[in-house]
Amino acid sequence: MQCVILAGGLGTRMRPLTAHVPKTLLPVLGRPFAGHQLQWLTGQGVTSVVYCIGFLGDQVRAFAGDGSRWGLKISYVDEGPRLMGTGGAVRLALDAGVLESAFLVLYGDSYLSADVLPVWQASEGGRLPVMAVLRNDGRWDASNAIFCDGRVLRYEKGRADAGSIGMHYIDYGLSVLPRAIIAETVPSDRAYDLAVLYSELSRRGLLRGVEVHRRFYEIGSPAGLRELEEHLQSVADPVEWD
């Protein structure tokens, strides 16, 4: 399996920590977060990673290298100073020729605890787009999805009335996308958000969903960073890598 990691953002909510260090390299229990994330991906059966980098991206290259210390093959796509959005970053990866026929998508500040394999299997080997969702009811962040019978029936961020219209679920931060969908849908000449793609796929009845039951962690906020460190300290088998 291949995973695209979106790690090109500015990390403004974590300033001043991210003024000189990309968010994905912020220390978690004394080690760069990216190392914890890459080790988790290895344990999930991922063999190839594409890092979509931008702000301070050279530091990500210097840290992760070719990925061999995690048993991974890592390649990089750099959007440079022009922010292209999550979808635009994936389109750059497509245009660079580094995407497999289908791939996982993961945010560079997310640490997940659910299993990847059921999400991949729901995509029928990458043939269909899939989003992992978590029953949320506004608990971890604003709910943004209506999920029923294996389908994401509606996906939309920023709804003030999310609960009243049945948005009890939240995007877990893990998806599967076929390369062909990116080629057909995402423009190559301007910024584009994957949320627009997910919304359109859900509207057309084309977005499968897999419900997961273990919460996600993230380092996009000081509180999130603290919670992740507490979680990692509590697990029986801590991350091991040099």
Instruction: Give the model confidence (pLDDT) of 67-113 as tens digits.
Output: 999 999 999 999 988 889 999 999 999 999 999 999 999 999 999 98
DSSP assignment string, 105-159: EEETTEE--S-SHHHHHHTTTTTS-EEEEEE-TTSSS---EEEETTEEEEE-S--
Domain annotation for the chain: domains and CATH numbers: 2-234 (3.90.550.10)
pLDDT higher than threshold 90 for residue 120: yes
Per-residue pLDDT averaged across 39-62, rounded? 95
Per-residue pLDDT averaged across 160-179, rounded? 90
Q: What percentage of residues in the chain have a pLDDT greater than 70?
A: 97
Q: Which residues lie across from 27 on neighbouring strands?
A: 32
As a whole number of Å, the end-to-end CA separation of the chain is 24
Instruction: Give the model confidence (pLDDT) of 188-224 as tens digits.
Output: 988 999 999 999 999 999 999 999 998 899 998 989 9
pLDDT higher than threshold 80 for residue 240: no
Place of tokens 């509590």: 234
CA 240 to CA 70: how far, in whole Å? Answer: 10
pLDDT higher than threshold 50 for residue 241: no
